[in-house]
Every structure is written in structure tokens, then in C-alpha cells.
């Protein structure tokens, strides 16, 4: 199968993160088996999702690992000009959910399997496809330990998130919280006797605004200065709560997210947040003992730090010819591979500007550049 044909098959699986990806994993496993390649699965705790990894070539250390995720974001409420689950070519672009982020790279990695099998590989090509990247990079930490235990360790990991084939050597990490503020309902004319969950949630959210101002005012480190913006950010994107305009809100739910400059202590940021939660909760309970703030932490995603003479960066630059310094403020699984001891870099076809959008697409010339890149990766494994 060509890379284009594989992409069409992958996009046809509506692997939105809220749903199972097992049908896609089944297909990939059968595809690999048709080439005589054994795959390994790692399931999530529900058994309804899985990541997959495989080794092509000799079982020796020093190979190259190509990594991508299989899940995509929803299309609900988006106005698409064509079926998002069918790859449609228009004006030099391939439209469809996941064509850019990031089934395009997944297809290129899988298309390289028969090519690698035909060659005299001295070191292996390894492929890892994960689940639930879009909802917090949840799948990679589950599968990476199994890859390390089962396969010889690769010298370089290429995470093919859309970077326009630039070599991205650094990205921010992330973490966050789901917050439930529990107030005490009373008629709003007597609000001093109750506790409005919405109004106390607003205090915590405004503390986030103050933290952003504090961090903005600090002199950024040399690494932080590469990012836009050049500091760790706090953000609330969703909030809901209350029942009526004349009742103090009994409940308020919101999310609270961090994007952390690599090298900074994520735990220190989380500790400041928890301290503020404890402070506000004590003030609420001074009004009524039943009031409280419940916090559920999300899985922290480590940032990707630029490496000194890193094998992954050296490989990607030698193939692409890109010598620029590129960092991004979004997170990827590259930081998780690096945290596990791999040399990692982000380099893949397409633009992140197209990710998650209606009429998501990957340009044909980018797809072709990605295919040429993967072919040259295979060439290097023959050296």
C-alpha cells in the first residue's frame, strides 16, 4: 500500500479520544502481520484503547523510533466542506480529520515498513502508535516502559507532530487540575450567610491572572526567552455552575491548566496552586463549614529540553538541512520519551495551524517531504 492509501484507511477510523481506537489498532496489527512483523499491544485500564509498538529489522540497540498518536479531536459542531472521515483531495491538499494531526505521519511510518524489510538494515526501525494523546498524553507513559523492556533501545526518537518538517528541539510541558468548588446555597439577598461557589471560583481564577502577571514581569531564562510567550502560563478555558440568578451557587466546576517552560519545576507551580486553594477554602469554611474546594490533578506532561549533541536532533537536522532553533508552546509525547532516557525531537509534515480545525488538511508537498524524510531515515539505518 502507498502512504496515501494507508492514510485513507487510518482517517476512516473515527478515533476521537472519547471513543475506542481498537478497530484502528486491529487494522495496523493485521497490516504489520501481512509483512511478517509482530506487534505488541499495551491496553489502557478500561481495555477499550491500546497503544502498539513494533520492531523492524535486527534486534540491536541504536535504531530509530518513529512515534505518533492514533487519537483525534472531535468534529462536533464544526462546519466541514467534506466528510471528515474520508480523505478528500482539493487544491493540492488532503482534507480529513487527522490528516495533519497526526495520522499523516502515522501513515508515512507504516508505509516505510516494506521498504525497511527490503533493505539491509544494520539497526532497526521501530514504530510506536499511542492512544489518548489529545486528552493529556496519557497513552505514552503506559507504553514507553514496555517498549524499553521489550525492544533494544533506539538511539533517536522522532515524534512526527506537524512542524512543517522543521526540527523542534524544545516544547513546554503541561499539567492542570479539574476544580469543583462546593458552596452553600441561600437566597442571594442573604448571600453573606451562604457561600457562592461561582464567586469563590472567580477568586481562584483571578489568582491565575495575577500569577500570569507575576511570571510575565520576571526576566526570562535563556531557554524561556525562545518561547512565545516566554514564561509559564496559567489558563481556565471552561467553567460552569449555579442554578439561578437569585441563589448563591452551590457548585462550580472549572479547569485550570499550566503550560510550563522546560526546566522549571512543575511540582513547585502545582504547590503554589494547592496553597492558594487551601487559603481560599479556609476562608469559605469560616463562613460555613460545609463549603470546600475539591481538586483532581491531571497527569503532568514533561517539557522537551534542547539536548547538547542529541542523536535525534543530529539525525533530523542531517536529513532536513534545518539548522534553525525551533521551540513550540504546545506539548507532545517527545518530552515523555526524553524523560524515559531517549534522545527525542519533534519533526513531522504539516502545520500545527491546521490541527483541530474544521477542514483540517495536510498539503501534498508536505506529505511528500515527510515521505522523503522517512525514506532517508531508513537509508541511515543501513549505514
> 188-222, pLDDT tens digit by residue?
999 999 999 999 999 999 999 999 999 999 999 99
Name the grid cell of 72: 483525534
Predicted TM-score of the model (pTM): 0.90
Q: How many other CB atoms are found less than 10 A from the CB of residue 216?
A: 13
CA distance 346 to 331: 10
Nearest to 335 by CA among 267, 262, 265: 262
Listed residue (41, 19, 16) closest to 28, CA to CA: 41
Give yes or no for a contact between 114 and 383, defined as CB atoms under 8 angstroms apart: no
What pLDDT is attached to residue 92? 97
Bond from prior residue into 229 cis (ω within 30 degrees of 0): yes
Burial of 306 (0-12, 13-18, 19+ CB in 10 A): middle
Q: What are the CA-CA distances from residue 222 to residues 212, 219, 227, 231, 261 (Å)?
A: 19, 9, 10, 11, 11
Catalytic residues: 71, 133
Q: How far apart are CA 177 and CA 254, in angstroms?
A: 9
Beta strands, E only, 109-212 = 125-130, 156-159, 168-171, 173-182
Residue 318, CB-side half-sphere exposure with 13 Å CA sphere? 12
Q: What is the pLDDT along the chain (383 residues), one digit of tens a residue?
A: 999 999 999 999 999 999 999 999 999 999 999 999 999 999 999 999 999 999 999 999 999 999 999 999 999 999 999 999 999 999 999 999 999 999 999 999 999 999 999 999 999 999 999 999 999 899 999 999 999 999 999 999 999 999 999 999 999 998 889 999 999 999 999 999 999 999 999 999 999 999 999 999 999 999 999 999 999 999 999 999 999 999 999 999 999 999 999 988 888 999 999 999 999 999 999 999 999 999 998 778 999 999 999 999 999 999 999 999 899 988 999 999 999 999 999 999 999 999 999 999 999 999 999 999 999 999 999 98
Amino acid at each position: 500500500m502507498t502512504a496515501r492509501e494507508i492514510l485513507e484507511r487510518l482517517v476512516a477510523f473515527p478515533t476521537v479520544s472519547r471513543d475506542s481506537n481498537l478497530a484502528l489498532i486491529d487494522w495496523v496489527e493485521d497490516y504489520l502481520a501481512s509483512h511478517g512483523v509482530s506487534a505488541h499491544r499495551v491496553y489502557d485500564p478500561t481495555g477499550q484503547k491500546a497503544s502498539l509498538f513494533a520492531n523492524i529489522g535486527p534486534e540491536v540497540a541504536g535504531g530509530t523510533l518513529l512515534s505518533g498518536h492514533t487519537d483525534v479531536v472531535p468534529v462536533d459542531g464544526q462546519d466541514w466542506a467534506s466528510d471528515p472521515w474520508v480523505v478528500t483531495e482539493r487544491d493540492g491538499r488532503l482534507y480529513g480529520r487527522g490528516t495533519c494531526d497526526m495520522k499523516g505521519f502515522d501513515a508515512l511510518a507504516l508505509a516505510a515498513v516494506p521498504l525497511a524489510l527490503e533493505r539491509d538494515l544494520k539497526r532497526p526501525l521501530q514504530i510506536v502508535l499511542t492512544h489518548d494523546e489529545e486528552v493529556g498524553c496519557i497513552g505514552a507513559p503506559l507504553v514507553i516502559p514496555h517498549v524499553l523492556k521489550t525492544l533494544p533501545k533506539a538511539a533517536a526518537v522522532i515524534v512526527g507532530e506537524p512542524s512543517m518538517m522543521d526540527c523542534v528541539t524544545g516544547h513546554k510541558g503541561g499539567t492542570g487540575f479539574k476544580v469543583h468548588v462546593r458552596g452553600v446555597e441561600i437566597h442571594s439577598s442573604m448571600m453573606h450567610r451562604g457561600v457562592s461557589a461561582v464567586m469563590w471560583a472567580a477568586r481562584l481564577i483571578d489568582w491565575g491572572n495575577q500569577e500570569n502577571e507575576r511570571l510575565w514581569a520576571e526576566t526570562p531564562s535563556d531557554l524561556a526567552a525562545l518561547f512565545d510567550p516566554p514564561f509559564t502560563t496559567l489558563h481556565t478555558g471552561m467553567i460552569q455552575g449555579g442554578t439561578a440568578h437569585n441563589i448563591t451557587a452551590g457548585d462550580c466546576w472549572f479547569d485550570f491548566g499550566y503550560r510550563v517552560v522546560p526546566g522549571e519545576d512543575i511540582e513547585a507551580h502545582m504547590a503554589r496552586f494547592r496553597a492558594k486553594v487551601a487559603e481560599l477554602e479556609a476562608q469559605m469554611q469560616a463562613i460555613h463549614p460545609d463549603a470546600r474546594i475539591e481538586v483532581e490533578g491531571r497527569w503532568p506532561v514533561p517539557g522537551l529540553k534542547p539536548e547538547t549533541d542529541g542523536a535525534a536532533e543530529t539525525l533530523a537536522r542531517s536529513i532536513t538541512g534545518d539548522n534553525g532553533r525551533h521551540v513550540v508552546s504546545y506539548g507532545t509525547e517527545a518530552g515523555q520519551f526524553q524523560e524515559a532516557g531517549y534522545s527525542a525531537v519533534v519533526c513531522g509534515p504539516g502545520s500545527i495551524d491546521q490541527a483541530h480545525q474544521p477542514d483540517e488538511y495536510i498539503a501534498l508537498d508536505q506529505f511528500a517531504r515527510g515521505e522523503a524524510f522517512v525514506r532517508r531515515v531508513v537509508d541511515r539505518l543501513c549505514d
